[in-house]
Amino acid sequence: MALSLRRRLVGQLVVLAAGLALVLYIAVRVGAERASQATLDAVLGAAAQGLAEEMRAAEGGVLFDVPPGTFSMLAAMGEERIFYRVDVGGQTVTGYPDLPLPRRPPTALAPQFYTVPFRDAQVRMAAVARSLRIEGRATPVLVALGQTREGQEAIAAQLGNRAAALGLAVFLAAIPLALLVARSLTAPIDRLAESVGRRGPRDLRPVRHPAPQELAPFVTALNSFIGRLRGTLSQTETFIAEAAHHIRTPLAVMRNEAELALRQSGEEETRARLRGLIRSADDAARSAGQLLDHATVLYRADQAEWARLDLAAMVRAVADRLAPAAGMKDIELHLDLASALPCDGDAVLVEAALRNIIDNAIKYSAPDAAVEITARAMATQAVVRVADRGRGLGHVTPDRLLRRFRRGDNVGDVAGSGLGLTIVDEAAVAMGGTFSLSPRDGGGTCAEFCLPLASA
Amino acid sequence: MRFLLVEDNAELSASVAARLRLDGHGVDRAATLAEAEDFLAAAVYDLILLDIMLPDGDGRDFLARHRQAQRETPVIVMTARAAVRDRVDALDTGADDYITKPFDFAELEARCRAVLRRKGGSAQTQRSYADLMFDPLAAHVTIAGEVRDLRSREVRLFELFLNAPGRILSKEHLCDRLFSFSEPVTDNAIEVYVGRLRKKLAGSRARIETVRGLGYRLTDG
């Protein structure tokens, strides 16, 4: 089976959520770093400008006071170290002479920011320049002020952790949401499948269940398939009916005419011929009937759903129906039936099975005999037992008799197609039951047809 | 008995009617449902034999109307469709019984009897001969106030004699009528049933005589 839609949907949503969480994490982290950098840079730049502005030309050099606010402002940022360097006319006059300058030295008071490694730390620098008139000459003055950013990094790391936690939380929250979304999306499919699955075995009406737009092509295809299936099935049934009609009606005419001729003919030789003719017509009719029964059983056996039926009542109905035929031979059908035997099955299959079993018992019984028919609940099974005092099974094993067109070795003088027991067996198996034949104590045969009892 | 035969196949209809008339029954033949309705409006029948596939409609529709109109005449459906579903359908729509074509006339008679018995029967079917009363539906003879039950074959055998009292019926003729053609019959089988019937008729003036070499004959006295 292909990967389930729901799983695929959940998978994709989860991957999407993971991506979004990652983007969120990166955005928060980068954004936070940028924001704090900008703030710190503003302070650093202002401090560097402050220093530069405090400079004054003095005799033989430069004089400047470190404004008292400057370093305390920087110190407020945390446990950061501060480095500075003041160059006048290209000469470092105070601070760290090895403190790196920007690649392109600043030319104005607007601070230039850069980051350099210095004394085992990354130092954020701000460099400003101004020009000071010293001894009548314009001398360039450069102030570079640096600050480590260990505190800021710690804060950024903390922020990053928070961002990661937030991303993870978003991701985790997305999983149940994805499941929920997938379920609500696939729910119409499930409902549609359920409404189609719930249908009875003979229900070939088109599907009218409301389905979302996206499923409409599927429903249309399903309905067109149902339509074709219905066409095929009704064609099969019509064909079976037509075939039966076209075979049986002429056979009936033939048989009647032969019987009439037999009544009116006095010549023994002709009468014997006519009897043979009637026997053949009966044989042909019987075979045609059983072939059609067999076809019916085969095509009904595939259905997955059954209707609730009362096996005891069906045994009674079939026995009543066959009683006149049994009476023709003065055979009595003794019924001993439980009051009700609820089973799940197909009435047509059960009718065909029971009719064939009882018909067989009548056919192979001697005149004046009795056929015992019982129907009982035994454990989880409804058991129909049909016992006759007929000729028994002969030398053929019961299994062989259940095969198609297979007849016993002791039935040459009785008409039969060899399909009756096959029909019974196939019907029983189709409905989850069993059929068996066994020799009866004291002579005869015992046929047992079992179906699972329906749970109440 | 009076039959209404509804069957569109002319040959089959003719041969069924001929066969029924041979047994002394009255038969009207309808080839369509419309004709059947006309006959039913004009006469009373003991039984309707109904084909399912008819040119002007489905026999089952006729059955439904028949039941709706609460007409009591029992209906036996003659179906060519052996498909089990049709049988179930026919009974569901109110047929009293069905018989599958081709059918054995003896079986048709047996089914007619069973249906009429279920429906309460009618006094008309009782027949008298010599000093006995014979009721084929109830399957018994009454001799000097004593009711004796007959088995199915005894009933049919006695009917054969009653339909031709005094006439000699050959063993072969009786065999053909009494046994199905697909069952093995021994030569003395008919003697067994004649013997049984004689026992049931013991004490009555009606007797079944053996005519050596020819068969049997029912006589009064």
Is the model's pLDDT at A230 over the cut of 70?
Answer: yes
Given CB atoms, is B171 within the 8 Å cutoff of chain A? no
Q: Residues A60, A64, A67, CA angle at the centre, nearest 5°?
A: 175
With CB atoms and an 8 Å threshold, state whether A285 touches B83.
Answer: no
With CB atoms and an 8 Å threshold, state whether A248 touches B111.
Answer: no
Token duo for residue A101: 């300058």
Report the share of chain A in percent with pLDDT over 90: 17
Report the share of chain B in percent with pLDDT over 70: 92
φ and ψ at residue B2, rounded to 5 degrees: -110, 125
Architecture of A306-456 per CATH?
Answer: 2-Layer Sandwich (3.30)
Given CB atoms, is B214 within the 8 Å cutoff of chain A? no
Given CB atoms, is A18 within the 8 Å cutoff of chain B? no
φ and ψ at residue A110, rounded to 5 degrees: -65, 120
| pLDDT confidence tier of residue B206, bands split at 50, 70 and 90 | very high
ipTM of the complex: 0.79
pLDDT at B122: 57
pLDDT tens per residue, range B104-140: 888 888 888 888 888 765 556 788 898 999 988 888 9
Q: Nearest by CB to A244, which of B80, B110, B111?
A: B80
Residue to mutate among B19, B97, B152, with most A CBs inside 10 A, is: B152
| Averaged confidence pLDDT in chain A | 84
Ramachandran area for residue B102 (φ above 0: left; ψ -120 to 50: alpha; else beta):
beta
With CB atoms and an 8 Å threshold, state whether B101 touches A249.
Answer: yes
With CB atoms and an 8 Å threshold, state whether A351 touches B87.
Answer: yes
pLDDT tens per residue, range A415-429: 666 788 889 998 998
Residue to mutate among A269, A299, A328, with most B CBs inside 10 A, is: A328
Given CB atoms, is B83 within the 8 Å cutoff of chain A? yes
Q: Nearest by CB to B181, which of A248, A279, A352?
A: A279
Is the model's pLDDT at B197 over the cut of 90?
Answer: yes
pLDDT tens per residue, range B89-106: 656 677 888 888 888 888
pLDDT tens per residue, range A156-166: 778 888 888 88
pLDDT tens per residue, range A346-386: 888 898 899 999 999 998 888 889 999 999 999 999 999 99
With CB atoms and an 8 Å threshold, state whether A324 touches B110.
Answer: yes
A chain contacts of residue B107, beta-carbon cutoff 8 Å? 324-325, 328
Amino acid at A332: E
Given CB atoms, is B102 within the 8 Å cutoff of chain A? yes
With CB atoms and an 8 Å threshold, state whether A324 touches B151.
Answer: no
pLDDT tens per residue, range A27-64: 888 888 888 888 888 888 888 888 888 888 777 677 77
Q: Nearest by CB to B12, which of A253, A279, A352?
A: A253
B chain contacts of residue A256, beta-carbon cutoff 8 Å? 12, 15-16, 18-19, 102, 105
With CB atoms and an 8 Å threshold, state whether A325 touches B110.
Answer: yes
| Averaged confidence pLDDT in chain B | 86
Q: Domain coordinates of chain A in residue numbers?
A: 5-157, 199-304, 306-456
| pLDDT confidence tier of residue B201, bands split at 50, 70 and 90 | very high
A chain contacts of residue B86, beta-carbon cutoff 8 Å? 241
Q: Nearest by CB to B176, which of A244, A262, A415?
A: A262
| pLDDT confidence tier of residue B81, bands split at 50, 70 and 90 | low
Is the model's pLDDT at B84 over the cut of 70?
Answer: no
φ and ψ at residue A42, rounded to 5 degrees: -60, -45
Is the model's pLDDT at B198 over the cut of 70?
Answer: yes
Determine the number of helices (DSSP H) and then strands (DSSP E) in chain B: 8, 13
Residues 6+ positions from A235 with CB-CB distance below 8 Å:
none
Cβ(B102)–Cβ(B193) below 8 Å: no
d(CA A106, CA B37): 121
pLDDT tens per residue, range A270-288: 988 998 899 888 888 888 8
Residue A101: Cβ-neighbour burial (10 angstroms; 0-12, 13-18, 19+): middle
pLDDT at B123: 52
A chain contacts of residue B149, beta-carbon cutoff 8 Å? none
Count A/B contacts: CB-CB distance under 8 Å. 126
Given CB atoms, is B69 within the 8 Å cutoff of chain A? no
Given CB atoms, is A29 within the 8 Å cutoff of chain B? no
Q: Residues B169, B172, B178, CA angle at the centre, nearest 5°?
A: 85
B chain contacts of residue A253, beta-carbon cutoff 8 Å? 9, 11-12, 15, 102
pLDDT at B88: 58
Report the share of chain A in percent with pLDDT over 70: 93
Peptide bond into A324 cis (omega under 30): no
Question: The tokens 């106030």 sit on which residue?
Answer: B145
A chain contacts of residue B153, beta-carbon cutoff 8 Å? 328-330, 367
pLDDT at A428: 92
Given CB atoms, is B106 within the 8 Å cutoff of chain A? yes
Q: How far is B2 from chain A (nearest CA, A)?
A: 19
Given CB atoms, is B9 within the 8 Å cutoff of chain A? yes
Given CB atoms, is B183 within the 8 Å cutoff of chain A? yes
Given CB atoms, is B22 within the 8 Å cutoff of chain A? yes
d(CA A244, CA B52): 13
With CB atoms and an 8 Å threshold, state whether B101 touches A351.
Answer: no
pTM for the whole structure: 0.62
With CB atoms and an 8 Å threshold, state whether A282 touches B182.
Answer: yes
pLDDT at A303: 61
Token duo for residue A249: 């009606």
Given CB atoms, is B64 within the 8 Å cutoff of chain A? no
Task: Report the chain B residue with the minimal C-alpha distance to residue A285.
Answer: B102
Rg (CA), chain A: 51
Task: Report the chain A residue with the minimal C-alpha distance to residue B154.
Answer: A330
Cβ(B137)–Cβ(B152) below 8 Å: no
